[in-house]
Structure 1
Amino acid sequence: MMPDTAQLYDLRGLKCPLPVLKTRKRLSVMRHGEELLIETSDPLAGIDIPHFCYENGHQLMESEKTETGHRFRIRKG
């Protein structure tokens, strides 16, 4: 379940590499420890978002496949 403090960012309809680029930009203005909930329909996001988190020191709190794509909960590192 998403905590009340997580910000929802709807990236459905965007194709690679836009979900990762927009996620990077959104996280850049957030404070350490804040959480972002991302929804995407891009099939490559299932690989790209976890890799982005790992490479940039963010914590992937949750990852799930949805009917229309993926949902990720990221804590800014």
Structure 2
Amino acid sequence: MNKLNTDHILDARGLYCPEPVMLLHGRMDTLQTGELLHLMATDPSTQRDVPKFCTFLGHELVDQYVEELVFGYFIRKGPTA
């Protein structure tokens, strides 16, 4: 796992589509532009959904990883979101 200095952590492990992205959407609304969120999920569909979420809403997917059935994402809140 990449050890980025994150401002926020969202643990969505054990949740299934669409819950991880719904929680992510709500959490991103509370962040300031430029803040970095670390999302952890166990639902494989996040591999498709999270990058699309970022592209659609103008957030930056800084990095992602898979580690022992956990899908991790580092997302920086975009200025237009």
* Range into which the TM-score falls when normalised by the shorter chain: over 0.9
Q: State the match for 2:4 in structure 1.
A: 2
Q: State the match for 1:19 in structure 2.
A: 20
Q: State the match for 2:61 in structure 1.
A: 60
The letter of the residue matching 2:4 is M
Secondary structure of the corresponding residue to residue 2 of structure 1: coil
The letter of the residue matching 2:27 is R
User: What's the CA shift for 1:6?
Assistant: 2.6
The two structures have a TM-score, normalised by structure 2, of: 0.89
Runs of 4 or more above 6 Å deviation: none
Q: 1:10, 1:21 → 2: CA distance?
A: 12
Which has the larger displacement, 65-74 or 55-64? 65-74
Question: What do residues 18-69 of structure 1 show as CA deviations (whole Å, max 9, x unaligned)?
Answer: 1101000000011000010000000100110011001000000011112122
Q: 2:45, 2:24 → 1: CA distance?
A: 14
Matched residues, number: 76
Consecutive unaligned residues of structure 1, counting only runs of 5 or more, are none
Matches within 5 A, 1:25-36: 25-36=26-37
